[in-house]
Amino acid sequence: MNCQKIQQLLLADYLDGEVSERIKHEVEGHLDLCCACRQFERAVQDAAIRPFKQARRIRPPDEVWNKLKEAIASEEQAAGAGFLANIWDVMQSIFSNPKLAFTILIMAIASLAIMVIAMDVYLNNQRVVKNSAHIEQPIKQVKYLSEIIGVSEYPSSDDEPSDEYDSHDGYGTAIEEYFL
Amino acid sequence: MKEIPKHILLRASLGDAEAFETIYQLASGFVYSIALRITNNPEDAQDVTQDVFIKIYKNLKNFKFFSSFKTWVYRITVNTALNTCREISRQISQRADHDSLASHQGEGDPMTEIAAERADHERLIMDLLAVLNPDQRACIVLREIEGLNYREISEVLNININTVRSRLKRAREALLAYRKSEVMKDELPKDTAVAVSRLP
C-alpha cells in the first residue's frame, strides 16, 4: 500500500476500528517505516479525534422542562379542540353539498321508519305472549271442572297410565252402572 | 444515556406524567448534548430538545421495542436537529453564539479555573464543529462523542455505510485544514495574521 492509500485509511476506517486484522497489520507496518504517514496520523488525532474525546454531557436549562410541560398541555388542548373542529368541518361539508345532505336525510328517514316498524312488531309480539297467558287460565278451569265431574279429557301428567285410561268403556256414573 | 426500564416506558406510554418526567430526567442531557453539537447553538438546541420530547410523548404509545429506546431517541434527536439546521439558515456569527454559551454556563457562579477550562474546551469543540456542514457534524458527533460504529450511524441517519465513511473522511479533512490554518495564524506575525484572516 502506498502513502496515499494509507492516509485515506487513517482518515476513516483505520482510526475508527473498521478494518480487518490483516489491513490493520499492514497499516501498522507502514506507519513503523513511514515518518510522513506517522505525522499525518498524529495530525488527524490532534485535529479531529482528541478534542472530541473530552466533550461533556450538558444538561438543558430547567426552563426547557417547564416549556415542555406547557407545550404538551397546549398540544393536548389543541387535540381536544381539533376533534370538535373536525366534527364541525364534517357537518359543514355535508350541508354545503345539497345532494349529499338529501341522501343522508333520506337514509335517516328510512332508518327511522325501520326502527318504528321493528318496534311495532316487537310490541305486537309482546301482546300475543300476554294474551296466551290469559288463555291458560280458562284451560285450567275446564280441566278442574272435568276432574270434578270425573271426565279425564284433559289428563294430567300424574294420571294413570294411558292404557288404563283407554280401557274405560264409560263414564262410571251410577246410571251407567245400573244399566250395565 | 442510562438504560430506561421498560416498565417506565410502558407507564409513560399510557400517559403517566411521573414516568414521562423520569424519562426526561434520564434522557434530557443526552438529547440536549447531541442537539447542541449538531445545531452548534444553545437556543436551537433547547428548541430541538423540546421538540424531541414532544415527539417522544406523542409516539411512545407506538414504540414497539423492536429497536432499543436509545437508538429510537438518537434517530429522533439527530433528525430533528438536522431539520432545524436546514430550516434555520441564519447569518448569525458563530462567535456571538459561543459567547452566549460561555455566559450561559457561567451563570450564577464565579468562574473557577476548572469551569474556565471547560468553557475553553467547549469553545474549541464548537469552533471545530462550526467548520463542518450539519450532515458531517452529525456523523462526527455520533462517531467521536457518542462512540457509535459505522453500522449504528448508518441506522440512525438512515444512510448507507459508504456514505457514513465518506462524510467522516470529508469532515476530518476539513478539520485538518482548519487546524493547519489556525497553526499558520499563530505562527505568522500579528499584522500578517490579520491580513490573512481578511482574505476571502
User: Which amino acid is residue A126, in one-letter code?
Assistant: Q
Per-chain mean pLDDT for chain B: 83
pLDDT in tens, B134-178: 999 999 999 999 999 999 999 999 999 999 999 999 999 999 999
CA distance A70 to chain B (A): 10
> Is A153 a member of any domain?
yes
Domain ranges of chain B: 6-198
Which of A58, A70, A75 to mutate: most B Cβ within 10 Å? A58
Residues of chain A contacting residue B31, judged by C-beta atoms under 8 Å apart:
60
Q: What's residue B10's pLDDT? A: 87
CATH number attached to the domain at B6-198: 1.10.1740.10
In a domain, A58, yes or no: no
The three cell numbers locating residue B100: 452566549
What is the pLDDT at residue A172? 66
Minimal Cα distance from B21: which residue of A? A65
Q: Answer yes or no: are the C-beta atoms of A51 and B124 closer than 8 Å.
A: yes
Does any domain span residue A71?
Answer: no
Instruction: Calculate mean pLDDT across residues A11-22.
Output: 93
Top residue of B129, B165, B170, B181 to mutate, by most chain A CBs within 10 Å, is B165
C-alpha grid cell, residue B5: 426500564
Residue A155 sits in which domain range?
Answer: 98-180
Q: Is B121 in the A-facing interface, judged by CB distances under 8 Å?
A: yes
Distance of CA B34 to the CA centre of its chain: 3
What chain A residue is nearest to B182 in terms of C-alpha separation? A47
Minimal-distance CA residue of chain A relative to B172: A48
pLDDT digits (tens, 9 = 90+) for A129-140: 777 666 666 677
Assign 3-class secondary structure to chain B: CCCCCHHHHHHHHCCCHHHHHHHHHHHHHHHHHHHHHHHCCHHHHHHHHHHHHHHHHHHHHHCCCCCCHHHHHHHHHHHHHHHHHHHCCCCCCHHHHHHHHHHHHCCCCCCCHHHHHHHHHHHHHHHHHHCCCHHHHHHHHHHHHCCCCHHHHHHHHCCCHHHHHHHHHHHHHHHHHHHHHHHHHHHCCHHHHHHHHHCC
The answer to the question of residue A33 being in a domain is: yes
Q: Which of residues 29 through 58 in chain B touch A, CB cutoff 8 A?
A: 29-33, 36-37, 45-46, 49-50, 53-54, 57-58
pLDDT value at residue A164 = 47
Query: Is the pLDDT reported for residue A66 higher than 80?
Result: yes
Q: Do A53 and B144 touch (CB under 8 A)?
A: yes
A40 and A111 both lie in a single domain: no
Domain assignment of residue A162, yes or no: yes
Q: How many contacts (CB atoms, under 8 Å) link A and B?
A: 99
* pLDDT band at residue B182 using 50, 70 and 90 as cut-offs: confident
Residue A11: its chain B contacts at CB < 8 A?
168-169, 172-173
Closest B-chain CA to A19 = B150
Q: CA-CA distance, B127 to B140, in Å (whole number)? A: 14
Count of domains observed in chain A: 2
B23 vs B2: CA distance, rounded Å: 10
What pTM does this model have?
0.64
Listed ranges A51-55, A158-162, B157-161; the one with the highest mean pLDDT: B157-161
SS3 A153: coil
A48 and A122 share one domain: no
- Judge whether A86 lies within some domain: no
Locate cell 499492514: which residue? A26
- The verdict on a CB contact (< 8 Å) between A13 and B49 is no
Q: What average pLDDT does this structure show over B46-69?
A: 87
Which of B124, B171, B176 shows the shortest C-beta gap to A43? B176
Neighbours of B134 (CB within 10 A): 18
Q: Would A78 be classed as within a structural domain?
A: no
Give burial (CB, 10 Å; 0-12/13-18/19+) of A147.
middle
Nearest to B126 by CA among B166, B190, B178: B178
Task: Assess if residue A105 is contained within a domain.
Answer: yes
Please tell me which residue of chain A has the smallest CA distance to B107: A61
